[in-house]
Chain A
């Protein structure tokens, strides 16, 4: 089975690989909040920082870009929606729709924000193994009362583990349906339903088999976990991200 998703762990020894996953998760939240609320200057700052981390990790950027083409389509739709619905000074009118200057700026900013959040998520996943994500979630949720932190962490870990399998099943199902001429049906809803029903059925069956297999291997919520240790470098990384955050907030708006 080939590589199936860009959102997976890429082995390496970069700065990001070495940071404690709890700190990485905290930094991802801070940076995403900064990206979602920032203007062009702040987005530029976060983008430069992300690009530097990508370069340092030596990620195969062309491969990642190719695998993210569907996200690009989604971002394009968001940009179009924002561009065509924002009020302001019209630049062009066609079929009763006005393209405004403000709309163009808002659309570009919305696309940039969304793209940046996707890239930040990608950085996090590329530098963090599934068990580390699981341990980080478990550790961060532990102090929150009435939250079954171990169960939530186990569910997250399994979800991350099974995304490639679900995508593989979706691809097989789509291929099997193409082989039987589904492309001759023009109705996209019909095609979506025909894809979703067998895919969901197979996914639920697999989930049931997985639960049985986990039971067979004595699965319990109180199991040994990998210990996490925070070091000076982790605090320094968090400090750098907080510093960037303050810098982004203090930059003049454009």
Chain B
């Protein structure tokens, strides 16, 4: 069943520059999709349409059959977004406060908020960090906190914009493990990267973007051969003709 339907989506910026052009896409529930492309290919612009942060010039996005344009608040609840810069999306003074930010915006009662916050922190392995100040967290912990924040809102689709950027090896492993755990629990994952190495072993679909358009779409094995002409490096294992290994193995 399709959870996201993108129909003829185009976006032009105020200076006339093309952000994305005529994107046609369906994402099935429970899938793990990697969206790759060089800088400036339109990945982040595309993601911001999935929960109504940007309004398209033409076309439409539907989340569980309802247009984002008609009900952006519902779309923002169902499509949780983790941004590239973790520092500038954390609003709470402590880990608990930050995870509670989303449920508080949904006007839930305090008991429900507490349950959701603790549930999200347990799911991300951060329950013992609830009282910790957010600006003292490591890069990987901040990224996991951002994921917990959207999980507490009850998001069905987790959209991650370059989730591994600026992370060391343990940080990448922590974040990847958290993403895989959410996927195993039935969440739909859509993540962007220009470094396929870290996530492609777990994806069931790879999309390539260039100049605002989706130029390749399919199972990773079928699409990986097309990446390098588009400015995205193939994983080392593929270059050597071996199967891609998980960073967690």
Contacts and interface: CB of A to CB of B under 8 A. Distances in A.
Interface of A: 1, 3-4, 8-9, 11, 129-131, 158, 160-161, 164-165, 168, 206, 209-210, 212-220, 222-227
B91 A161 contact: yes
Given A161-B92, A218-B153, A131 B97 contact: yes
B149 A217 contact: yes
A220 B105 CA distance: 6
A224 B108 contact: yes
B53 A212 contact: yes
Contact of A131 (B93, B102, B108): B93
B88 A218 contact: no
Given A213-B88, A216-B76, A4 B135 contact: yes
A224 B135 contact: no
Interface string B42-77: 000000100101000000000000000000010011
Given A219-B105, A222-B107, A209 B85 contact: yes
A9 B136 CA distance: 13
B93 A9 contact: yes
Nearest to A220: B105
25 contacts: A1-B135, A9-B93, A9-B133, A11-B131, A161-B91, A164-B135, A165-B87, A168-B135, A209-B85, A210-B88, A210-B89, A210-B91, A212-B83, A215-B76, A216-B51, A216-B53, A216-B89, A217-B80, A217-B153, A218-B153, A223-B104, A223-B105, A224-B106, A224-B107, A224-B108
B53 A161 contact: no
B63 to A, nearest CB: 13
Interface in B93-130: 93-94, 97, 101-110, 113
Contacts of B179: none
A85 to B, nearest CB: 41
A199 B92 CA distance: 22
B81 interface: yes
Contacts of B48: 212
Contact of B93 (A4, A161, A206, A227): A161
Contact of A129 (B89, B94, B109): B94
Contact of B107 (A1, A8, A11, A223): A223
B150 interface: yes
A228 to B, nearest CB: 12
Nearest to A168: B135
A166 B92 CA distance: 15
B245 to A, nearest CB: 33
A209 B87 CA distance: 10
Contact of A209 (B83, B102, B104, B109): B83
Nearest to B112: A224
* A-B complex: 9 closest residue pairs judged by Cβ atoms: A213-B89, A209-B88, A130-B93, A218-B105, A217-B102, A224-B104, A206-B88, A216-B81, A223-B104
Contacts of B113: 224
A162 B240 CA distance: 47
Contacts of A219: 105
A222 B104 CA distance: 9
A224 B136 CA distance: 26
